Amino acid sequence: MTSMTSEAVGVSPGRVNLIGEHTDYNDGYVLPIALDKTARISASRGGEGDVVTISSAQLGTSVVLDVLEPGERAWWGYIAGVVWALRDAGHPIGAIDLALDSDVPLGGGLSSSAAIECATALALDQLASLDLTPEQLASVSQAAENRFLGIPTGPMDQRASLWCEAEHALLLDCRTLTARQIPFALPTDLTLALVDTRSPHVLADGHYARRRASCEAAAAVLGVTALRDVTIDELPAALARLSDEEHVRRVRHVVTENARVLATVAALEANDWAAVGELLTASHASMRDDYEITVPTVDLAVEVAVASGALGARMTGGGFGGTVIALLPTRELQAFTTALTQAYARHGFDTPQVTTTRACAGGIALSLRR
Ligand code: ADP
Ligand code: MG
């Protein structure tokens, strides 16, 4: 019994997906790592009834919610939605105060949203001694986004935030929701650079929904449950059966991307970083030419990275801007940053921001006794 606990803290990171883009809703594979940037939720028992108080240090504001009703898209919904999902699953979460502090950049494609959901789930699990399983923690976190806010995102972000281990990437099978830890320990002469392209990713509802619909329509034509069921060997025959040119491009991306995720896993297990790099760049070309989700800022960042000696580079995230990752010789990092800044200036793009990261640990909970 942990009734002594009067305050619990959940800390959970943002993530970056190394490879496997738009494969999630096709029941395929993704390969994220957790970042060294985290959201932190301090949870303590509140006052009367079921009132939920939520504050954000970054926004400098707070809300007091007497009732939790799904539907409204507001910043606090990512947190309130977890409380709602826990109550909906039958867990008695009464009045609660939740204070958020996060250094995951908002809306930068690094999943600040999952970080705050998972931090909330971890804090509440600890505070109320719920003993949730890793999958239950992930599913209540995802429910906040899908069911409370009504945003149709896939299963990756929350599982990455919760399940990643340091020096490992997480191979997640989006059909079975099973995961495997894949070694991702960069040698010191290699660096994983993250480029904020300063073109905020829009989960451009229209584009996203259209691509999802194309994939579903193509899967129906091919008579499979999801495009994950088409193997790379079956691809030529599958493409020959599609009459719609757009379906051909979309299917080619998804099927080759799933194969690239598995090839990346094999390359990491063989410690073959050159092969990993080539797969990253091939993934970018596929997103640019077949899935048509890149924009000039991200294409330029990839181009400059490769010209600067990167083993490989690609846009990560849903598309239309956001973050580019580059696997670079550490000694080229400075020259790359300079070349990229100059190239962006020449094109009249906003100055990009280059940081580096490594594979960090997933979320944890702590209890504070007062
Ligand atoms: P991403 O998850 O890629 O960062 P999303 O659009 O999915 O982008 O989630 C960003 C949203 O999450 C913000 O618009 C805001 O509503 C919420 N959010 C994230 N971090 C914070 C924070 N520190 N304070 C308040 N809201 C936050
Ligand atoms: Mg998000």
State what percent of residues in the chain have pLDDT above 70: 97
**Is 334 inside any structural domain?**
yes
Ligand 1 binding pocket mutation candidate from 106, 158, 203, 205 (most atoms within 8 A of CB): 106
Assign 370 a pLDDT band (cuts: 50, 70, 90): low
Q: 1 CA distance to ligand 2 centroid (A)? A: 35
The whole model's pTM is what? 0.95
Q: Decide: 156 in ligand 1 pocket, CB within 6 A.
A: no
**Is 1 inside any structural domain?**
no
Nearest in space to 294 (alpha carbons), one of 16, 3, 22, 5: 22
Residues 201 and 223 grouped into a single domain: yes
ipTM value, please give it: 0.99
- pLDDT for 126 beyond 90: yes
- Per-residue model confidence (pLDDT) at position 40: 98
**Is 255 inside any structural domain?**
yes
Q: Decide: 100 in ligand 1 pocket, CB within 6 A.
A: yes
**Is 3 inside any structural domain?**
no
Which ligand 1 atom sits nearest the alpha carbon of residue 109?
A: 3
* Residue 189 is among the residues annotated as catalytic for this protein: no
Average pLDDT over residues 351-366: 97
- pLDDT for 350 beyond 50: yes
Residues 84 and 227 grouped into a single domain: no
Which ligand 1 atom sits nearest the alpha carbon of residue 201?
A: 3
CATH no. for residue 32? 3.30.230.10
Nearest in space to 62 (alpha carbons), one of 94, 98, 33: 98
Rounded to whole angstroms, what are the CA distances from 331 to 38, 286, 310, 334, 338?
A: 28, 28, 11, 7, 13
Average pLDDT over residues 254-272: 98
Residues 176 and 195 grouped into a single domain: no
Domain count for the chain: 2
Residues 162 and 31 grouped into a single domain: yes
Nearest in space to 87 (alpha carbons), one of 56, 46, 115, 128: 128
Give the domain range for residue 294.
190-357
Catalytic residue chosen out of the listed positions 157, 244, 272, 299: 157
Residues 179 and 200 grouped into a single domain: no
Structure token digits, residue 194: 């993250």
Average pLDDT over residues 152-178: 96
**Is 2 inside any structural domain?**
no
Q: Decide: 56 in ligand 1 pocket, CB within 6 A.
A: yes
- Per-residue model confidence (pLDDT) at position 5: 62
Assign 202 a pLDDT band (cuts: 50, 70, 90): low
CATH no. for residue 233? 3.30.70.890
Phi, psi of 219 (to 5 degrees): -60, -40
